Amino acid sequence: MFTATRFATLLTMIGLFCTAAATNAQEPIVRLEVKPKNPKFDDWNKPTVLRSADDAAKVFDKDAIAALAKKVDFKKQFVVVFAWQGSGGDKLAYTVFESFPEQITFSMKHGLTDDIRPHVQVFALRSNVRASIKGPDGKQGKIDGQAAGVRQLKFMPADPTIVFTLGGKANATKLANAAAVEKLVGKASAKALIDQVDFDKEMIVFVSWNTSGPPDGKLQHEVKGPGDDRKLTFFVQGPPGSVRGQRQRIGADFFAVPRNVMVAFDPKER
């Protein structure tokens, strides 16, 4: 039974994250000797990223949370959990490249034996490091300590001309519930968008933007700040070079975004 006493204990454990050791928060990466209560095994290069004490409470039991509280400050760090099944000889490694901030690349050396077994490794990374994974094809994939969870939604409006009505305004609008989506695009077009999100955890952000070309600029986004202070900024990234056409392009795109993230649009093309 989840009693008031147990609830108070859990809140106390979560609160300890706010006073985590400052020394660990200064290191670009720290290996943590904790294990998730029910690890979700996936490909090794698809880790789970935890950005807050609330995220951690969903993955670790109270003993692990107490151990994390001594090592992790979510105002300055995020946690990456690798969980995969593979050869007993699998070796997950990382390299820290000296830069400001540091760049960290994870890589895998697969074992040669067929003794398939579970592997779990947990790391705390400082919030401002640039972390990536070297995949089996040699390509680098980002580990974004702040931006994971931001994804573009498919939008097929019942009336395609709505793009010209809504697009081109250089702003970002938060749509916190289904009613807000329906008000913006109409019920006929809203359903497909609404079905792609969980409004208990996410909101929809509508980005109205424009560029010129060819070559055209591209809509991009970045997240800055740790934990609950994360700010998501959308912007248009201009093409390289100074020569481009003057044909106007209007954009109207929808994204699923965690509810606790601040959102802005930078009207200046970068």
**242 in the same domain as 204:** yes
**134 in the same domain as 13:** yes
Q: How confident is the model at residue 44 (pLDDT cuts 50, 70, 90)?
A: very high
| Phi and psi torsions of 98, nearest 5° | -70, 115
**256 in the same domain as 211:** yes
DSSP letters spanning 118-135: EEEEEEEEETT-EEEEE-
69 lies in some domain: yes
Q: How confident is the model at residue 149 (pLDDT cuts 50, 70, 90)?
A: low
**232 in the same domain as 164:** yes
What pLDDT, in 10s, does the model give residues 76-85? Answer: 899 999 999 9
Return the pLDDT at 234.
94
Domain boundary among 143, 171, 196: 143
Beta strands in the chain (DSSP E): 29-32, 48-50, 77-86, 91-97, 103-109, 117-126, 130-134, 140-143, 151-152, 171-175, 202-213, 218-224, 231-237, 247-258, 262-265
Q: What percent of the chain has pLDDT over 70?
A: 85
CA 60 to CA 45: how far, in whole Å? 21
Peptide bond into 28 cis (omega under 30): no
Q: How many domains is the chain partitioned into structurally?
A: 2
**136 in the same domain as 159:** no
Strand 103-109's sheet: what is its strand order? Answer: 91-97, 103-109, 130-134, 140-143
Mean local confidence (pLDDT), 109-135: 91
What pLDDT, in 10s, does the model give residues 201-227? Answer: 889 999 999 999 999 999 988 877 655
**124 in the same domain as 8:** yes
Strands 91-97 and 48-50: unpaired
**139 in the same domain as 245:** no
Instruction: Give the number of other Cβ atoms within 10 Å of residue 126's Cβ.
Output: 22
**36 in the same domain as 155:** no
**136 in the same domain as 231:** no
270 lies in some domain: no
Stronger pLDDT, 25 or 35, i.e. the higher one:
35
Q: Is the pTM of this model over 0.75?
A: no
Residue owning tokens 């975004």:
257
CA 196 to CA 194: how far, in whole Å? 5
Q: Are 252 and 205 in contact (CB under 8 A)?
A: no
Return the pLDDT at 136.
73
Name the residue among 59, 68, 57, 49 with its Cα closest to residue 258. Answer: 49
**174 in the same domain as 125:** no
Full residue range of the structural domain in which residue 69 is found: 4-143
**104 in the same domain as 18:** yes
Residue owning tokens 């997950």:
92
